[in-house]
Chain A
């Protein structure tokens, strides 16, 4: 045991105990495991890890893939069930082959081909085209109440061509097919037929890098290495997804050496992790964006006047907030899409910080300084540093004579208010993973869609056209146009893309991904 480190840790401990309780985790690393709780130990094979704990906030909601859209559920299931296609970090997160490759046959027909004939399920059954058809048919059966029923409603028919090939026919041109194939996980249809649904979800069989071992509800999901994984040699013997609702508990568990990977480390705890001697920080710009809606799809909102929307964009020192509050751990966006989005319009430059211009625009709109008073609804603790960022935005606007009252909401209430159009004239929201233009623009810039704050009769027809255009170049051109228009029209206060900040145990080699795909399939000892 290192004596100097012990002293240092004691000092930081007494400091921490005087601080606020939930940020008081400012502590050093473990000083020896008396009860033998260390979870990581290198095994005989080079690079092999015995056990990795991954801290999550909640249990999976089901063990049946293609049923529920929920990040926590999806990320755990993806380790048991492979995705059909996946975002490829090496191709700037464009969708590429995983289990299958995709080919567009005609406007309404898509063909998928297995990348290898030798992929098997954990049960031993070979993976065939039937298993994809079974998965889609299951999700499209209304009796199963799958979230994917709506997302895949354009799938008219799935036909199996041969063991390695199947086709999806859609009712309309469907440019999102690649993205939808990221969501599709084939199910072991032969095994399902043998054992029935109850047993299938109690003991699921997929083709993924890990096999289901045990699920103790409220405690952990334990998976073990699939020795015959088709993609690569899996170097982790056991993955344990451990559930603790409090972030501070997950952080403490990381610092105590109980967990290997923890997501969403707050900016102000990064130093604690780096100095712990147990873990390090791995951060990556995420595809998730944050913005402030300037409501114009409601008659009584002041932001029906474009000059005020532009004034807000000139008035807020977004770069200053990123430096000051985020310590640089956020990336500015000019328009509604992040740089990770293949359809992002690269010609847009962020609005400059120009308070004088903002004041002039406000005056032009007919308001004296101090006359405007606006409520901004914001969530608390949902997005990185959201509480502080909302206050900083309000302060910037105060400087140009707009009084902003920040109304913090519990998350459920926040959503209620947005959906029922009962927010103040501004509200703070995040959106993601946002790796395709349609998934963001078609939902947030069409006046009456669920979470939209914006309407524009010139923009909507273009969005509709783009969502029906399969030709990638033509579609991109349309998305560029839409982005240009909402940018000039200052539809939002455009803010930033989040950075995903992970705490990772020092003895694990693991890299984060921009698409929030927390993947232990390629982790190894370090």
Chain B
């Protein structure tokens, strides 16, 4: 078990390394980082001096070696715009992203799974149709559009909630619901199909024949067996929530990592993007590791290692 975890962590490091390498070269090919930062009424000589000072004049291979050498020691360089360590800029936004992503995950689990169970146990009924409609809508509506709609309705029109920003509980409601919509839909659909599958199995008939109550059959046998695919999905879903947060944080001016990364990308603030890539890759790797470890609980047949 310990060996397995260590092995997985090592492969996680390789993933991070590869992600960093890919993003490093893509960023360098995206264009000149100095133009977006220097004033427009500046001379070519001055632009050249800035490039020189920031090391953008070095051959790409040298820039890459320097970057990796520093990155291994946890130094991702300085933001060209803010002139402070990039990792500091990204880390101070981490709590906001975890808060939003965490709440969105809780919402999608606690709405999506019951919805899927309802759908499966009342297969073909009105409940099933309503639940499926919600699931299809959740998957079909783009997040930013849903976000703007909710903002218009609940903030501008009804004035119940603030439009944007971070502060009290009321600020997180709209972005969390928006971010969770897609995941909720996916959980509902997956729960429904796996539950339908499980409910049709022979051992379910056996359980019922033993005289177990409906509730026990459903919770102890059906859901536990269905949970394996739900756990796998959660590992992936965390990645999708991070991805979704990039857009939703923009729309709701939520001060998280996604927003800081998009802005850094648009401003070609390379160091900040690289620091963000490391954190995103690490979060993704960890989430999947935890998901895999949880299999052991759901299905004792799974032996890790």
Contact = CB atoms under 8 A, between A and B. Distances in A.
A251 to B, nearest CB: 9
A27 B153 CA distance: 9
Interface string A448-473: 11110000000000000000000000
A48 interface: no
B152 A16 contact: yes
A69 B256 CA distance: 26
A31 B159 contact: yes
A245 B253 contact: yes
Contacts of A217: 92-93, 255
A412 interface: yes
A145 B83 contact: yes
A181 interface: no
Contact of B162 (A9, A17, A258, A431): A258
Given A246-B253, A252-B156, A412-B31, 18 more contacts: A9-B157, A28-B157, A31-B157, A35-B160, A35-B170, A61-B82, A216-B255, A244-B165, A245-B262, A249-B252, A252-B163, A253-B163, A256-B156, A257-B159, A412-B36, A443-B40, A450-B40, A451-B40
Given A217-B255, A450-B42, A24 B32 contact: no
Given A21-B148, A246-B253, A416-B32, A37 B82 contact: no
Interface in A383-400: none
A69 B39 CA distance: 6
Nearest to B84: A62
B58 to A, nearest CB: 18
Nearest to B32: A416
A115 interface: no
Contact of A35 (B40, B162, B266): B162
10 contacts: A21-B142, A22-B144, A27-B156, A30-B156, A61-B82, A62-B82, A217-B93, A242-B165, A411-B36, A416-B35
Binding site secondary structure of chain B = loop
A220 interface: yes
B35 A243 contact: no
B25 interface: no
A27 B150 CA distance: 13
Contact of B165 (A24, A219, A419): A219
B97 to A, nearest CB: 11
A62 B83 contact: yes
A415 interface: yes
A218 to B, nearest CB: 3
A411 B267 CA distance: 9
A164 interface: no
Contact of A419 (B35, B160, B253): B35
Contacts of A32: 159
A298 interface: no
A257 B82 CA distance: 31
Contacts of B164: 244, 249, 252-253
A366 interface: no
A147 B83 CA distance: 13
A411 B252 CA distance: 23
A170 interface: no
Given A31-B158, A217-B92, A244-B253, A258 B163 contact: yes
Contacts of B170: 35
Interface in B230-254: 250-253
B28 interface: no
A21 B251 CA distance: 11
Interface string B68-110: 0000000000000111000000001100100000000000000
Interface of B: 30-32, 35-36, 38-44, 46-47, 53, 81-83, 92-93, 96, 142, 144-145, 148-149, 151-153, 155-167, 170, 250-253, 255-256, 259-260, 262-263, 266-268
A419 B164 CA distance: 37
Contacts of B268: 412
Nearest to A444: B41
B148 A25 contact: yes
Task: Give the interface size class of chain A.
Answer: 35 or more
Contacts of B159: 30-35, 37, 256-257
Contacts of A22: 144, 148
- The A interface is mostly helix, strand or loop, or mixed, namely loop
* Most A Cβ at <10 Å: residue of B53, B142, B153, B165: B165
B163 A147 contact: no
Most B CB atoms within 10 A — which of A21, A32, A416?
A21
A13 interface: yes
Contacts of B263: 58, 245
A413 interface: yes
Interface string A62-91: 100000110000000000000000000000
- Of A242, A245, A257, A439, chain B has the most CB atoms within 10 Å of the CB of A245
Contacts of B40: 431, 443, 450-451
A177 to B, nearest CB: 16
A34 B82 contact: no
B156 A150 contact: no
A255 interface: yes
A101 interface: no
Contacts of A416: 31-32, 35
Interface string A140-151: 000001010011
Contacts of A13: 152-153, 157
Given A16-B152, A252-B156, A415-B35, A448 B44 contact: yes
A17 B149 contact: yes
Nearest to B145: A21
Contacts of B166: 218-219
Contacts of B38: 69, 147
Contacts of B36: 411-412, 415
Contact of A220 (B83, B145, B152, B165): B165
B149 A218 contact: no
B52 to A, nearest CB: 12
A269 interface: no
A77 B156 CA distance: 30
Contacts of B262: 245
Contacts of A410: 266
A455 B293 CA distance: 68
A210 B138 CA distance: 46
B251 A35 contact: no
Contact of A37 (B35, B42, B148, B162): B162
A484 interface: no
Contacts of A304: none
A32 B155 CA distance: 10
Contact of B30 (A21, A252, A412): A412
A248 interface: yes
Shortest beta-carbon contacts, A-B, top 3: A218-B255, A244-B253, A69-B39
A252 B162 CA distance: 10
Nearest to A9: B157
Nearest to A34: B160
Q: Which of B35, B81, B92 has the most CB of A within 10 A?
A: B35
Interface in A131-165: 145, 147, 150-151
A256 B164 CA distance: 11
Interface string A47-61: 000000000001001
Contacts of B47: 419, 450
B41 A256 contact: no
A450 B152 contact: no
